[in-house]
Amino acid sequence: MAEYIKESNNYITSDSDNDTPAGLLPDSLGLLVQSLYTEASSDGERTNKEDIWQSAWHAMRGEFPDVVSKAVEIAKERGIYVNLTKRKVHEARTKLMSSTFQQGKIPFKLTPARRPRFVAPDLLEREDPYDEAMSRAKNCEMKIRDIFDQTSYEDTLSKVINEQTLFGTGVTKSIVLKKIDFPLYQTANTDPLLEMIEEAVESELCPHVEWISVWDVFPSPGATGKSDLDWVIQRRYVSAQELRTMAQTGAGGLDPELIEKCIETGEGQIVADIGGTSPKRWSTNYDKNKNFCILELWHKGLGKEDLEPYMEITDKMTSGGPIHLPAVVTVLGSKVLRAMPNPFDGRLPYDFCYWQEQEDSIWGSGIYEAIRDDQSMMNFIYGMIVEGKTMASQPMFAINPNAFDSTQDDFYDVFPGKIFRMKTGESVNDAFRPVLIPDVTNGLVDLLKIVERNTDLSSGQTPIGMGSGAQYQTKTATGMQILNENQNKLTTSVVRSLNNLVTANVQAVYYWLMADSSDIAIKGDFLCQAKSYDTFMAKEVTIQQVLQLIQVVGQVPEMRGRFNFEKLAVPLKAGLGLEIDGLIKTEEEMAQASQQSQQQAQQEAELASQMEVDNYEGKALVDEKKAVSSDVRKGIIQERLAKIKEGDDILTGELPDLMSRTSLLLLEKMAAEMEQEQQQQQQQDVQNQQQEQAAQGASGQGEAGSPPNIEGRSQMEPAL
């Protein structure tokens, strides 16, 4: 049957045995996006980076790519592979995660702008506008943290750090609207009003920071950073069902009929892509399940004539301005699925962070690129060590076959306890000798230590659990200083780059809330800054400097009076990684504590003064009593002397009693003892009286319950 191609409704059909569409008519804008994608994917710099990324991917998993060097090939033959790449990437990832997260949270802060560009009228009507602005900044910060928790931003940041350390570059896209579904439960006693409310809030569009793999980001060739990007293409592989889901949830931006036609004709279905893809796609069934390639172009300025057939261009877009418009174009194959103006005021929503930033490239260098030669040398050294040890340890012999009796025994089979039969007249020493191969691996061990040390210097990561105590590291001051300085400088630059990425992500969510949210309690002109770099510097530098300062000042007493040690509380607690909220006293709490300490000191001074007065009065009273007693004794003595002169008899027995009665202190003591004895006697009398009353009460109860007097009555006879 004759076949012919006809054009109908923007797609081509084949009039054959059936009416199955043979293909869709390509769009001019779709062909433009495909040409830009081809240009970006075939760029020389991009292809070189993809070769390094592919080798890094295999090295991370302990696998060998097809194209390997001779040193790695030798190691592969020996079955030896020391995964330095995975070890160093893991160490760097652990350090970055601990430096980025503070107490398990993303460290960022929102504060009111110092010179706000706009102040809400209701804010000026408040009694204290600054306190209200601080409260709104805190509310906005809590809202952003809730969004990060709902969209798993920590997992996104973890994936970014993985590619940042391994490949050298981490990429995020913000903002992407993500639909979050809430469960809707059906019960027997469901309130109709509550059911209506649940159906209304069953799902919600939430701003989402998305991780984009470096394999799927194609920036404009020649760009050295985000600031000089002309356009960026994002590639995504989806399945047919995901295409249909996109049409259903695309809020009217995607044509379901067009997507269904693309699925039927296989539009955008890629078998061999021109751009390099992650080895994961070809090592699994990922390429078979998701074989439709969607390209999303973010361009800073496309021509009006290119966009006009696919999107509505208002007079406001072109009046008084250039004819090139920032736009977003989504294509499947050569068909345009959606074309719309850039909703972010011309900003490209892609942010980059680097392990080692390159000045002349938008791509950075990762750990594998820094240690790939060391990885090859390590495998080669271990292969040679295994080969040398094998040669030196396995038994080898040199024999003379003519000296053995081959008819009686197989002299080539050697085992312990074997008996060899020699021919008559042959000497054993001449017929059989062992061959010893010397072990020459000592030099390789020294070379191994050099390679391991160079790996630490190149990656900037010391082994976890070893630190500076590794055997291969020199113990000289110069060697240790070089290692520590190189590690701190490299990690500092990496943390700063990651901190800039987090700041950009937080600002993107903040701007979206300012434009889209209707909550007045979070609106304001705020400054969004991530604190990952400050946290790292506090942990790595500030804490050491503060402790050294405290130690130096403590050793010099003359300097203590010139330092305000209270000011060291903030950096000290920040460096130790403690929670700052509520840990440091505010100025009001400090003033209150100072006032309380002053009041306590005043009370102690008054108490000490009162005690001193009481002691003085008590001492004066005792001295007065002693003086009175002394005067009384002197009078008695004089009286006795006068009686002795007159010849009166003196009763010596009365003298001690008389002297004791003249001591006021003894009299007071005796009076106190007598009073105490009287009190004790009174207490004893009271106790005796209570006991008697209790005994009488018990006896009374016994009489009341006693049986009547049966005296004189006959006793009952015992039972027989």
Residue 296, beta-bridge partner list = 234, 330
CA atoms within 13 A on the CB side of 62: 6
Closest CA to 264 of 339, 338, 336, 332: 332
Using the structure block, give the residue that is written with the tokens 């043979």.
22
CA torsion, points 674, 678, 681, 687, in degrees to nearest 10? -150
pLDDT score recorded for residue 7: 35
Q: Which helix (H) or strand (E) holds 5?
A: strand 5-8
Side chain identity at residue 396, one-letter code: M
User: Residue 716 — very low, low, confident or very high, per pLDDT cuts 50/70/90?
Assistant: very low
Please tell me the pTM assigned to this model: 0.67
218 pLDDT band, cuts 50/70/90, is very high
Which two structure tokens, joined as six digits, stand for 441? 């691996």
Mean pLDDT, the chain, as a whole number?
76
The C-alpha atoms of residue 569 and residue 585 are separated, in whole angstroms, by 10
- Other C-beta atoms closer than 10 Å to the C-beta of 145 total 16
pLDDT in tens, 8-39: 334 444 444 444 445 678 889 999 999 999 99
449: pLDDT strictly greater than 60: yes
Please, which residues have CB within 8 angstroms of residue 197's CB and are 6 or more apart in sequence?
none
Share of the chain above pLDDT 90, in %: 12
Beta bridge pairs of residue 85: none
Burial 427-436 (b: 16+ CB within 10 A, else e): eeeebbeeee
Q: What integer pLDDT is reported at residue 254 of this predicted model?
A: 81
Give pLDDT, residue 472.
Answer: 44
Helix (H, G, I), strand (E, B) or coil at 641: helix
Alpha-carbon distance 690 to 684, whole Å?
Answer: 10
Instruction: Inform me whether the pLDDT recorded for 414 exceeds 90.
Output: no
- Side-chain-side CA neighbours of 457 within 13 Å: the count stands at 15
Give the Å distances, CA to CA, from 392 to 389, 438, 442. Answer: 5, 6, 13
Residue 628's CB is within 10 A of a number of other CB atoms, namely 13
Confidence (pLDDT) at 713? 47
Note whether 33 and 233 are within 8 A (CB).
yes
Amino acid at 531: K
The answer to whether the beta carbons of residues 40 and 218 sit under 8 Å apart is yes
Dist. CA 508–CA 528, nearest whole Å: 10
DSSP of 650-668: --TTHHHHHHHHT-HHHHH
The pairing of strands 217-219 and 108-112 is unpaired
Question: How many angstroms separate the CA atoms of 575 and 405, rounded?
Answer: 83
Report helix angle 477-516 to 153-166, nearest 10: 140
Mean pLDDT over 631-641 rounds to 76
Q: What per-residue confidence (pLDDT) applies to 182?
A: 64
- The number of angstroms, rounded, from the C-alpha of 18 to the middle of its chain's C-alpha atoms is 60
Return the closest-CA partner of residue 230 out of 325, 174, 300, 171.
Answer: 300
- Residue 492 corresponds to which amino acid? T
**The two structure tokens encoding residue 44:** 């020389």
Least confident of 7-16, 203-212, 227-236, 391-400: 7-16
By mean pLDDT, which of 39-43, 476-480, 607-611, 702-706 is the weakest? 476-480
Distance, CA of 227 to CA of 225 (rounded, Å): 5
Rounded distance, CA 126 to CA 132, Å? 8
Helix, strand, or coil here: 570? Answer: helix
pLDDT (tens digit, 9 = 90+) per residue, 321-358?
A: 567 889 999 999 889 998 988 888 888 999 999 998 88
Using alpha carbons, list the distances in angstroms from residue 476 to 144, 203, 452, 481.
49, 63, 17, 9
The per-residue pLDDT for range 151-190, each reduced to its tens digit, is 889 899 999 999 999 999 999 998 888 777 666 666 656 6
Instruction: With CA atoms as reference, report the closest residue to 87 among 484, 386, 452.
Output: 452
Q: Does position 484 have pLDDT exceeding 70, yes or no?
A: no
| pLDDT score for 583 | 55
487 has pLDDT over 60: no
Written as one letter, the residue type at 190 is T
Residue from 353, 74, 367 nearest 225 by CA: 353
- Give the DSSP per-residue string, 113-131: -SS-S---HHHHTSS-HHH
At 29, is the secondary structure helix, strand, or coil?
Answer: helix
Q: What is the mean pLDDT of residues 589-608?
A: 85
Q: At 216, is the pLDDT very low, low, confident or very high (cuts 50, 70, 90)?
A: very high
DSSP letter, residue 701: H
Q: How many angstroms from the chain centroid is the CA of residue 394?
A: 51
Lowest mean pLDDT among 37-46, 183-192, 522-531, 700-709: 700-709
Best-predicted range by mean pLDDT among 66-70, 136-140, 392-396, 576-580?
Answer: 136-140
If DSSP codes are grouped into helix, strand and coil, which group holds residue 331? Answer: strand
> 3-class DSSP state for residue 325?
strand
| 3-state SS track over 378-409 | HHHHHHHHHHHHHHHHCCEEEECHHHECCCCC
Q: For residues 366 and 460, is the Cβ–Cβ distance under 8 A?
A: no
**Token pair recorded at residue 559:** 């300097």
What letter represents residue 273's amino acid?
A: D
CA–CA gap between residue 71 and residue 64 (Å, rounded): 12
Kind and range of the H or E element at 211?
Answer: strand 203-212
Q: State the average pLDDT over residues 225-232.
A: 90
**pLDDT tier, 211 (very low <50, low <70, confident <90, very high otherwise):** very high
pLDDT in tens, 314-323: 766 665 556 7
For residue 448, give both structure tokens: 């191994």
Six token digits for residue 273: 């892509």
In the chain, the amino acid numbered 662 is: T
Please compute, for residue 301, the number of CA atoms within 13 A of its CA located in the half-sphere on the CB side.
7
- How do strand 432-435 and strand 396-399 relate by DSSP bridges? antiparallel
CA gap 304, 231 in Å, rounded: 16
Report the range of poorest mean pLDDT among 13-17, 368-372, 679-683.
13-17
Sequence-distant contacts of 444-452: CB under 8 A, at least 24 apart:
444/381, 444/384, 444/385, 444/388, 445/385, 447/377, 447/381, 448/378, 448/381, 448/382, 448/385, 448/472, 451/374, 451/377, 451/378, 451/381, 452/378
Number of neighbouring beta carbons within 10 Å of residue 515: 10
pLDDT of residue 399: 84
**What number of other Cβ atoms are within 10 A of residue 15's Cβ?**
13
Once rounded to an integer, what is the mean pLDDT over residues 61-68?
59
Across 7-21, 69-83, 615-629, which has the greatest mean pLDDT?
Answer: 615-629
**Contact yes or no for 397/360 (Cβ under 8 A):** no
pLDDT at 176: 86
> Is residue 720 scored above 50 in pLDDT?
no
- pLDDT reported for residue 15: 44
Residue 251 sits at φ, ψ, to 5 deg, of 55, 40
CB distance 361 to 345 below 8 Å: no
**pLDDT higher for 132 or 654?**
132
